[in-house]
Each structure stands twice: as structure tokens, then as C-alpha cells.
């Protein structure tokens, strides 16, 4: 089988398109998951919380005299009294 420059270029171009599409689909699926979770929590069945939580990714460090722990904060909510 013999490949030409044009066929190789076309295959690379198609590969790039598929790669960008898959990255886009992962981002869209993640956004849909977030919106769906928020929607479920706004229903009577899913709303057992007193305050809404906002999804986030904030690095935090917990300091203890014996050790320090790194973690990732996954949600913010209104302070409880």
C-alpha cells in the first residue's frame, strides 16, 4: 500500500478533529453533570440541605502540630449558624 503526502495530511487533519471533538465532549459532559446535580438538589426529593453548595476546586492546607495535610475543597456553601 502506498501513501501520498495528501493522504497522510488528510489523516492527520482528521485525527486532530477527532481529538478536539473528544476534548470538547469531555468538557460538555462535565458541565452537564454539574448542572444536573444542581437541578436534582433543587427538587423536593434532592433538596435535603439547608443551603446551596457551589462546586469549586480550591487547594487548602490543614496544619497540625504533628503534620500538614494538603486537600482540595470541593464545594462552598453559606455558613451555618
Give the pLDDT confidence score for residue 74 in this predicted structure. 81
**Rounded distance, CA 29 to CA 42, Å?**
20
Q: Where are the domains of the chain?
A: 5-77
- The per-residue pLDDT for 64 is 92
pLDDT at 76: 73
pLDDT of residue 80: 55
**Is-contact 68 59, C-beta < 8 A?**
no
Q: To the nearest 10°, the Cα dihedral for 70, 75, 76, 79?
A: -90
Name which residue leads in pLDDT, 24 or 75.
24
pLDDT digits (tens, 9 = 90+) for 31-73: 888 888 777 766 766 656 666 677 788 899 999 999 999 998 8
Cα 72 from Cα 48, distance rounded (Å) = 24
Amino acid at each position: 500500500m502506498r501513501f501520498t503526502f495528501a493522504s497522510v495530511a488528510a489523516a492527520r487533519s482528521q485525527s486532530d478533529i477527532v481529538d478536539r471533538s473528544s476534548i470538547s465532549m469531555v468538557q460538555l459532559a462535565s458541565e452537564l453533570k454539574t448542572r444536573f446535580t444542581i437541578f436534582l438538589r433543587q427538587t423536593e426529593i434532592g433538596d435535603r440541605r439547608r443551603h446551596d453548595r457551589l462546586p469549586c476546586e480550591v487547594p487548602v492546607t490543614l496544619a497540625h502540630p504533628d503534620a500538614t495535610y494538603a486537600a482540595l475543597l470541593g464545594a462552598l456553601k453559606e455558613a451555618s449558624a
